[in-house]
Amino acid sequence: MRYKKFGKTGWDVSVLTIGTWVAGGIRWGDVDKNSCIDAIHAMIDMGVNHIDTAQPYNMGRAEEVVGEALRGVRDKVYLTTKFALKNTKPEGGLGGCEFHCTKDKILKMFEQQLERLKTDYIDLYIHHWPPTPWNCPGEVLDEAGIEMRIAGGLEVVNQLKREGRVGHIGVSNFDSKQLDIARKYADIEVTQPSYSMVNRRNEESMRYAHDLGIGVMTYGSLGGGILSGMYRTLPYFEPGDLRVEGYTHFVEPNFSKAMRLLESLDVIAERRNVPIPQIVINWNTQKDFVDTAIVGVRNVDEAAQNCKGLDWMLTPDEMRAIDKAILDTVG
Distance CA 28, CA 19 (A): 13
Cβ-Cβ contacts under 8 Å for 327 (sequence gap 6 or more): none
How would you write the pLDDT of the chain (331 residues) with one tens digit per residue? 999 999 999 999 999 999 998 876 665 556 688 888 999 999 999 999 999 999 988 888 999 999 999 999 999 999 999 999 888 876 655 667 788 888 999 999 999 999 999 999 999 999 999 988 878 787 878 899 899 999 999 999 999 999 999 999 999 999 999 999 999 999 999 999 999 999 999 999 999 999 999 999 999 999 888 898 888 887 777 766 666 666 778 888 988 899 999 999 999 999 999 999 999 999 999 999 999 999 988 899 989 999 999 999 999 999 999 999 999 998 7
Domain encompassing residue 56: 3-329
Angle between helices 33-45 and 61-69 (to 10 degrees): 50
Provide the number of structural domains found in the chain.
1
CATH number for the domain harbouring residue 222: 3.20.20.100
| φ/ψ of residue 160, rounded to 5 | -65, -35
Distance CA 293, CA 305 (A): 15
Cβ-Cβ contacts under 8 Å for 88 (sequence gap 6 or more): 59, 96, 97, 98
Helix (H) or strand (E) holding 203, with range, is helix 203-211
